[in-house]
Amino acid sequence: MTDLKFATEKIENPRAHWVITLVCDDTPGIVHALTGAVVAAGGNIEELQQFSSTDTGRFFLRTEVSVADGADLQAEVLPVAKRLGAKITVDPAERKLRTLILGSKAAHAVNDLLFRQRSGYLPIEIPRVMANHAVLGDLARFYDVPFEHLPVTGPEEKAAFEQRVREVIAEEQIELVVLARYMQIVSPELCEELAGMAINIHHSFLPGFKGANPYRQAHARGVKLVGATAHFVTTDLDEGPIIEQNVRRVDHTNTVKQLQAMGQDEESRTLTQAVKWFAEHRILLDGHRTIVFR
């Protein structure tokens, strides 16, 4: 399998690009200062997006810079960031984000992530898929991704699963954890440890439905749209900052099971989109909101 080359046409490989993100309090002169450092490093700005949040008074910037020597770029921009009291990242655009997938039994979202990683659409590496059921093993192995199955039937096994997640994150230098229909409630402790680096997907409706079996409720109410929301994992269950949302039209002929199937489609594509943006450093946090520089 290692020599399988999918013929999906690849996304253009950028030249020697670096991605800088910068977050700090808004004050005049930030762009000028940062772009001065880029010029001093001999860099050229290929793309730049910024946003000033009137809600929080914070300033957000993402830029792609082409430069001969990335070390020069870092040497010039890091002092600027320090002076601004800014949080900064400087990363080669072509570097692939190390991503851990947590699944359960459902294959749709995991399949989409694995296929699109392989085809080159997602700029990530996937060193591990972990799940509380064995069923996704064949799929992971087809894509040459090590699969780890730890059954979870009680609180002790759940704690062990989460402990193993922590170990894999450390061992594999994981930068992003994707809950691809993981179906387990993450403990508050792990939620906090994963703050800003874990993405979850769940179904969404207009209006929202609380409680068990939302598809049944949506069917009973006769909703005309079903959808999905990708969001950061926080201790406030399913209430983290929203990254992306999509909907699909349904009608009265659709059964509860069909609503679920259509909802799953939206889950797959919404989660994959969120992972792509995260891996490209396009998502920044403004309090409880996301800034997404698409």
Q: Tokens for 197, please give them.
A: 């680096």
Is there binding between residue 247 and a copy of itself (CB under 8 A)? yes
Asked whether the beta carbons of 43 and 73 are under 8 A apart, the reply is: yes
Half-sphere exposure (CA, 13 Å, Cβ side) for 124? 30
Residues from 271 through 290 that contact a copy of itself (CB under 8 A)? 286-290
Beta bridge partners of 152: none
Residues from 133 through 152 that contact a copy of itself (CB under 8 A)? 133, 135-136, 138-139, 142
Is there binding between residue 132 and a copy of itself (CB under 8 A)? no
Q: Is 109 exposed, middle or buried (0-12, 13-18, 19+ CB in 10 A)?
A: buried
In the block, residue with structure tokens 């594509």: 269
Half-sphere exposure (CA, 13 Å, Cβ side) for 206? 9
The one catalytic residue in 3, 236, 238, 251 is 238
Residues from 51 through 110 that contact a copy of itself (CB under 8 A)? 51-52, 54-55, 104-108
From start to end of 115-197, where are the E strands?
124-131, 147-149, 176-179
CB of 166 to a copy of itself, least distance (A): 26
106/178 with CB nearer a copy of itself: 106
CB of 162 to a copy of itself, least distance (A): 22
Residue of 16, 48, 159, 160 that binds a copy of itself (CB under 8 A): 48
238 in active site: yes
CB of 169 to a copy of itself, least distance (A): 25
Asked whether the beta carbons of 124 and 112 are under 8 A apart, the reply is: no
Is there binding between residue 170 and a copy of itself (CB under 8 A)? no
Residue of 16, 78, 159, 261 that binds a copy of itself (CB under 8 A): 261
Is there binding between residue 184 and a copy of itself (CB under 8 A)? no
Asked whether the beta carbons of 276 and 122 are under 8 A apart, the reply is: yes
- Determine the Cα–Cα distance for residues 47 and 135; give it in Å rounded to an integer: 43
Residue of 78, 91, 96, 119 that binds a copy of itself (CB under 8 A): 119
Residues belonging to the active site: 238
